[in-house]
Amino acid sequence: MADPARTSADERVRRSVGRRLRSAVVALALLVALSAWVWRGWSFTLRPGEAAVLLLFGRHVETITREGFHVRLPAPFLERYVVRVRELRTEDFGLHAGGGEETPAELHEATMQTSDNNIVRVSFTVQYTVKDPFEAGFHLEDPAGVVRDAAQAAMREVVGHTTVDGVLREKKALVTAEAARRLQEILDAYGAGLDVAQVQLQGVQPPAEVRAAFDDVVAANQDASRLVNEAEGHRNEVVPKARAEAAEVLAQAQGFREAKVAEATGAATRFRAIAAEYRLAPEVTRERLYLETMEEVLPRVEKVIVEPGAASLVPTLPIGRGREPRP
């Protein structure tokens, strides 16, 4: 009697313990699932250069640009889109890939018309980053495609405003800066949320058909500057030479002048000395000088002493006698 009652009581206890155990296990499982969901779903980490766009029931509510650990509502209520903001995206235009001839498609992409209706081949690269993660992610269907289209339009517009010489040489930097500015304007007008970092010209060339003519102009410029350099060389030679000659002529003249003065001074001093002596004894000095000179002069010469009035002798004088036989 008591046995069945006891068994049934035991059974009840056992059953109730089992039920409790079961519900505890269920609760624990639920708790683990919940906390895993909370942990996995409610928190996330942004690495450097990443941003998260958060949509609540599909509507944009927040953009997180700060890197690190964040806690927000989980999916499916709040959706997260992670965008690599700082990643530099690149688009090439008209760039010749690989060796050999350019393909027609590459040529088409690079061919542009300048303001003076010349044709040039311009290849360039556009680099851009994400400025606004939400706009970049949700405003355009195909951001890269839009960048391609807009960049070509912008570059062609700028080249179309520039002369061929400007594009090829003088204004390269201006062309890239202007193209970047235009591209940014166009993208901003579309609300693309993209930031043009740089437009780089990879190659600017006249078409192959006329390249020789363009090269010849370069050669002509070189010829011209060679001529000018040669002329400057000539000037650098001729002018110093002239200065040297001038210096010579001047020095000679100075020398002549000083010599003249020196000579005169010497002669004058000598004369003064003699004159001073002469003044002391005029008669004697005069006589002496005269006789000394005669002494010196007369022995050398043919002398004919004639009484004045004997003029008839004159025609017979052997004038010039000494000259003829001399060898």
Partner 1 sequence: MRRLAFLALLLLALAVGLVFAGRVGLGPLVITREGDQQLILFLGSPQRVTEPGPALRWPFVETAESYSRRWLNLNAKPDTILTADGEQLIVDSYAIWRIRDPKEFKRTFPSGIEAAETGIDRSVRDDVREVLGRHTLEQVLDSQRAEIMREITARTQAKVGGFGIEVADVRINRTELPTGAEESVYARMKTERERLGRKNRAEGDERARRIRAEADREATVIVANARRDAEIARGEGEALAARIYAEAYGGDAEFYAFVRSLEAYRIAVDEDTTLVLSPHAEFFRFLESSTPPPRPGR
How far is it, in rounded angstroms, from Cα 230 to Cα 238?
A: 12
Given candidates 59, 100, 105, 325, which one binds partner 1 under the rule CB under 8 A?
59
- Nearest CB to partner 1, comparing residues 1 and 105: 105
Check residue 281 for interaction with partner 1 (CB under 8 A).
no
Q: Least distance (Å) from partner 1 to the CB of residue 327?
A: 14
How far is it, in rounded angstroms, from Cα 37 to Cα 280?
A: 146
Given candidates 48, 66, 301, 327, which one binds partner 1 under the rule CB under 8 A?
301
Give the interface size with partner 1 as a residue count (CB under 8 A).
118
Report cis status (omega within 30 of 0) of the bond before 76.
yes
Measure the CA dihedral 246/251/257/263, to 10°.
-150
Q: Which amino acid is at 234?
A: H
Check residue 284 for interaction with partner 1 (CB under 8 A).
no
* Range 89-120 burial, b when 16+ CB lie within 10 A, else e: eebbbbebeeeeebeeebeebbebebeeebeb
The tokens describing 153, both together, are: 């339009």
- Nearest CB to partner 1, comparing residues 101 and 295: 295
**Site stretch for partner 1 (CB under 8 A), options 63-71, 121-129, 157-165, 169-177:** 157-165
Q: How many CB atoms are located within 10 Å of the residue 251 CB?
A: 10
Check residue 193 for interaction with partner 1 (CB under 8 A).
no
Question: Distances from the Cα of 120 to the Cαs of 48, 86, 178, 264, in angstroms?
Answer: 42, 34, 17, 84
Check residue 142 for interaction with partner 1 (CB under 8 A).
yes
From 163, 72, 153, 68, select the one nearest 115 (Cα to Cα): 163
What is the largest distance, in Å, between two alpha-carbon atoms of the chain? 219
How far is it, in rounded angstroms, from Cα 34 to Cα 53?
A: 25
- Nearest CB to partner 1, comparing residues 9 and 289: 289
Check residue 79 for interaction with partner 1 (CB under 8 A).
yes
The footprint of partner 1 on residues 194-253 (CB under 8 A) is 206-207, 209-210, 213-214, 216-217, 219-221, 223-228, 230-232, 234-235, 238-239, 241-243, 245-247, 249-250, 252-253
Given candidates 1, 323, 325, 327, which one binds partner 1 under the rule CB under 8 A?
323
Given candidates 21, 36, 284, 317, which one binds partner 1 under the rule CB under 8 A?
317
- Nearest CB to partner 1, comparing residues 1 and 301: 301
Q: Least distance (Å) from partner 1 to the CB of residue 29?
A: 12
- Nearest CB to partner 1, comparing residues 9 and 317: 317
Check residue 122 for interaction with partner 1 (CB under 8 A).
no
